[in-house]
Amino acid sequence: MNTSRRILLAGLAGLAVAPTVARAAPTPVADEVTVAEERFARMIAAAHAPDVTCARQVERYADTHWPDYVVAARAVIDARV
């Protein structure tokens, strides 16, 4: 599976879970996040980046906003277990 398809699928998974989970739990501190959760949150953030025209903008958006997507990433990872 290529990278763009992975980002799209991760974004869709995060989008499906984020609205219900984001209201239920506060955003955690970055110190409490595992490596897997951070990577998945960055992937979801990259998929939700607005008005992107190049990979560098997507990367900057993901670096800035990944803590906002940690709750969705945890929900998706927990659902897979």
**Amino acid in the structure at residue 63:** D
Q: Given this model, what pLDDT does residue 58 score?
A: 86
CB atoms within 10 A of CB 2: 7
Distance of CA 44 to the CA centre of its chain: 3
Q: Are 67 and 45 in contact (CB under 8 A)?
A: no
Which of the two residues, 60 and 17, has the higher pLDDT score? 60
**pLDDT tens for residues 41-63?**
988 888 888 877 788 888 888 89
